[in-house]
Structure formats: structure tokens, C-alpha cells
């Protein structure tokens, strides 16, 4: 009998995001609070009798070899060879990976990074490599700045480009998340001359009391649809951008309030995609793996 490991790849929100500087290589230094949502993609992994790695269905516009899932699988198999755990990648069993894509791409919800982290942890488990989370997070960083937080699996205060992580005791409200139907180009935001790049560094304790997203001003200018979504959601609380957008979110004390706002969206802005989800401080991926 072939066993399938079915795991979530949750979304993240940046509850706040300050840009405190820019490194010599052009990357921006951030201070951000990452929190997971109980909503995201799902990946099924089934071992094969040969050594091939297959991913289905394909994501439109993303060639298989550029898909972060395939890149994560290859990176992990190369690491197993480099560490002498197997002589060649062909000595590892192949795998069929099925992706149920739920999260919008380029939405600031970290879907691609989360898919990559889920793949690293799933294949580490199925290939019985037993790499520790430090090693997997370091491998993940080579795929994207947001991958380490998904590998480690706890809500975090992040510094650097997102690789220096400390657990953050965030509240766990319900969120309404709106995707205003456009994709934001992260490089266009980080390359914009008007982007704030010199926010003073603050402590995690201060950030937990509330903060802004420094990308918001530039994203509002470049993408009027995002400005519209922020202004609409601001009627109900404090609306924020996650990452570089395009998604915006607002926190609510209970599910009833969040669902009322979703109802208003249906009638007032039927073209936007939106969902509600609960914030969680332990990643649903780690919760699922603990019982796998
Ligand atoms: C801003 C954040 C916050 O969580 O989220 P997203 O909106 O992407 O989800 C991330 O740090 C995004 O990290 P990541 O997803 O790896 O960024 P990429 O798409 O690889 O970055 C595209 C480009 O943006 C610039 N970039 C990215 C991250 C960073 N800290 N400084 C930068 O200057 C670089 O020019 C990079 O080549
Ligand atoms: N498995 C994947 N899921 C989503 N995007 C992917 C994936 N693999 C590669 N990508 C690429 O990464 C880009 C960023 O995707 P995503 O992580 O969803 O957005 P964001 O970083 O804004 O949260 C996409 O536009 C796409 O080109």
C-alpha cells in the first residue's frame, strides 16, 4: 500500500513591517511580526517506486523547475548527497506531489515560501533524513527570505531580511483578508525611490503594541486597487497591508464580527476575493507533522 502524507502550507501575515536599512547587496533590512493563518495551500506527497519527482497540477506561468516546491525538493536531495547520507539523488525514493493551490500568488501571504517549507519538512520526514530545523531553515533561506519562518513554525519577531527569528507572543484574533485582484511586484516596491528605508529600530515589545507597514505608502501610490481595499476595510478597524501586498487585512475579536464584514463585501465589492481565518502562533504545518 502506498502511503500519502497530506500537509498544509499555511499563509502568513506581516502584522507590522518596518524597513530599517538597506544592505550593500541591495536587500532591505526589516523588522516584522510574522503570524500564521489557519488557511492556506495543501500538498500531498506519495512515494514512488522510482527516483522521479513529479508535481501536479502545474501553476500557470510558473515552469515546473522554477516552482518553489520542485526547487525545495531538489535542494534537499542535493543536501542529502553533500552530507553523505546517500551517494546520489537517485538513491532517494521519488515522489508524486499534488498541490491544492488556494493562496493568491504575489499576495504577500507567502504562499510560495510556505509550499517550499512544507516540501522541505515533508521530504525530510519521508526520506528519513532527520535534518534539524536550523539546517532546514538555512536551506530554505536560499529559496526565499520568508521560507525560514515557515520551517521553524512559530509566530516570530524577525530581523535582518527575515532570517533572525525570535518567538513572538501575538494575540490570535480572527482576520478578514482581502485580495483586490491584482499582483504586486515585490521588486517594484523595494526599488521605489520614495520607499521609507530608515525607520528607527524598535524592540519586539514595542512592536507588539502596534506598528505600521512601511511599504504601504508606495504600494498605495503604485496600486490604486490596494488603496481602495485598505480604505474600505479601515471602516471596521485598522487595515494593514501584508508584506508588499497585494492582500490587506483587519483583525476582529470574534468570528461573528469577521463574518459580518465578509457579508458586506459580497454586496459592496463582489469582484474582490476575500476570506476569514484565525491567527495562530504554532504553524498548522507543525501541528499536522506532530501527529504524522
Ligand atoms: C516583503 C516580504 C515580508 O515578509 O514579503 P512578501 O510580500 O514577499 O510576502 C518578504 O521579506 C519578501 O521576501 P521574498 O519573498 O523572499 O522576496 P523576493 O520576492 O525574493 O524579492 C524580490 C526582490 O525584492 C527585493 N527585496 C526583497 C526582500 C528584502 N528584504 N529586501 C529587498 O530588497 C530584492 O530586490 C529582491 O530581489
Ligand atoms: N509554489 C509556488 N506558489 C506560488 N508562487 C510560486 C510558487 N513557486 C514559485 N512561485 C513564484 O513566486 C512568486 C511569489 O509568490 P508568493 O509566495 O505566492 O507571493 P508573496 O511572496 O507575495 O507572498 C509567484 O509570483 C511565482 O512566480
All three cell numbers of 65: 523547475
Instruction: For residue 2, name the pLDDT band (cuts at 50, 70, 90).
Output: low
**How large is the greatest C-alpha to C-alpha distance in the chain, in angstroms?**
60
Shortest-distance ligand to the CA of residue 55? 2
Residue 108 Cβ < 6 Å to ligand 2? yes
Q: Please say if the pLDDT value at position 1 is more than 60.
A: no
- Distances from the Cα of 59 to the Cα of 18, 81, 186, 187, 245, angstroms: 32, 29, 19, 21, 20
Query: Measured between alpha carbons, how far is 129 from 40 in angstroms, rounded to an integer?
Result: 26
User: Among candidates 158, 162, 129, 156, which has minimal Cα distance to 143?
Assistant: 162
Instruction: For residue 162, name the pLDDT band (cuts at 50, 70, 90).
Output: confident
What is the mean predicted confidence (pLDDT) over 48-76? 96
Average pLDDT of the chain, as a whole number = 96
Residue 187 Cβ < 6 Å to ligand 1? yes
Query: Per DSSP, which regions of the chain are E strands?
Result: 4-22, 28-47, 53-56, 95-100, 156-160, 164-167, 174-179, 240-241, 248-252, 273-280
What's the pLDDT tens digit per position in 6-16?
A: 999 999 999 99
pLDDT (0 to 100) of residue 266: 86
Domain edges within the chain: 4-168, 174-280
Ligand 2, atom nearest to 116 Cα: 1
Give the number of residues written for the chain: 292
What is the mean predicted confidence (pLDDT) over 130-136? 97
Query: Measured between alpha carbons, how far is 18 from 216 in angstroms, rounded to an integer?
Result: 10
pLDDT (0 to 100) of residue 291: 86
- Residues annotated as catalytic are 12, 146
- In the CATH scheme, what architecture does the domain 174-280 have? 2-Layer Sandwich (3.30)
Query: Measured between alpha carbons, how far is 174 from 252 in angstroms, rounded to an integer?
Result: 5
Q: Please say if the pLDDT value at position 204 is more than 60.
A: yes
Residue 109 Cβ < 6 Å to ligand 2? yes
Query: Measured between alpha carbons, how far is 43 from 115 in angstroms, rounded to an integer?
Result: 8
Q: Please say if the pLDDT value at position 200 is more than 80.
A: yes
Better-predicted residue by pLDDT, 106 or 7: 7
Query: Measured between alpha carbons, how far is 81 from 15 in angstroms, rounded to an integer?
Result: 38
Residues of the chain above pLDDT 70, percent: 99
- Eight-class DSSP state of 26: S
What's the pLDDT tens digit per position in 216-264?
A: 999 999 999 999 999 999 999 999 999 999 999 999 999 999 999 999 9
Q: Say how far residue 111 (Cα) sits from the centre of its chain.
A: 5
Strand partners, 8: 42
Q: Please say if the pLDDT value at position 190 is more than 70.
A: yes
Instruction: Kindly indicate whether the domain formed by 4-168 is annotated with CATH number 3.30.230.10.
Output: yes
Query: Measured between alpha carbons, how far is 83 from 44 in angstroms, rounded to an integer?
Result: 26
pLDDT (0 to 100) of residue 292: 81
pLDDT (0 to 100) of residue 270: 87
Amino acid at each position: 500500500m502506498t502511503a500519502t502524507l497530506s500537509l498544509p502550507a499555511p499563509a502568513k501575515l506581516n502584522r507590522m513591517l518596518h524597513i530599517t536599512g538597506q544592505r550593500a547587496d541591495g536587500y532591505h533590512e526589516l523588522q516584522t511580526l510574522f503570524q500564521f493563518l489557519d488557511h492556506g495551500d495543501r500538498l500531498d506527497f506519495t512515494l514512488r517506486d522510482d527516483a522521479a519527482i513529479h508535481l501536479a497540477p502545474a501553476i500557470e506561468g510558473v515552469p515546473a523547475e522554477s516552482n518553489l516546491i520542485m526547487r525545495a525538493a531538489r535542494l534537499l536531495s542535493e543536501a542529502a548527497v553533500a552530507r553523505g547520507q546517500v551517494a546520489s539523488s537517485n538513491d532517494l525514493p521519488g515522489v508524486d506531489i499534488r498541490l491544492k493551490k488556494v493562496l493568491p500568488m504575489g499576495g504577500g501571504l507567502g504562499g510560495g515560501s510556505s509550499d517550499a517549507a512544507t516540501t522541505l519538512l515533508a521530504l525530510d520526514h519521508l526520506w528519513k533524513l532527520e535534518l534539524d530545523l536550523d539546517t532546514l531553515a538555512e536551506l530554505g533561506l536560499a529559496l526565499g527570505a520568508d521560507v525560514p519562518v515557515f520551517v521553524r513554525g512559530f509566530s516570530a519577531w524577525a530581523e535582518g531580511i527575515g532570517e533572525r527569528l525570535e518567538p513572538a507572543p501575538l494575540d490570535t484574533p480572527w482576520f478578514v483578508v482581502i485580495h483586490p485582484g491584482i499582483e504586486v511586484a515585490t521588486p517594484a516596491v523595494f526599488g521605489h525611490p520614495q520607499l521609507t528605508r530608515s525607520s528607527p529600530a524598535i524592540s519586539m515589545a514595542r512592536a507588539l503594541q502596534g506598528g505600521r507597514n512601511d511599504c504601504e505608502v508606495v504600494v498605495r501610490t503604485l496600486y490604486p486597487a490596494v488603496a481602495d481595499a485598505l480604505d474600505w476595510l479601515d471602516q471596521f478597524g485598522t487595515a494593514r497591508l501584508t508584506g508588499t501586498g497585494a492582500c490587506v487585512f483587519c483583525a476582529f475579536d470574534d468570528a461573528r464580527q469577521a463574518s459580518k464584514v465578509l457579508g458586506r463585501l459580497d454586496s459592496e465589492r463582489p469582484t474582490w476575493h476575500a476570506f476569514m481565518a484565525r491567527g495562530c502562533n504554532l504553524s498548522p504545518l507543525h501541528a499536522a507533522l506532530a501527529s504524522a
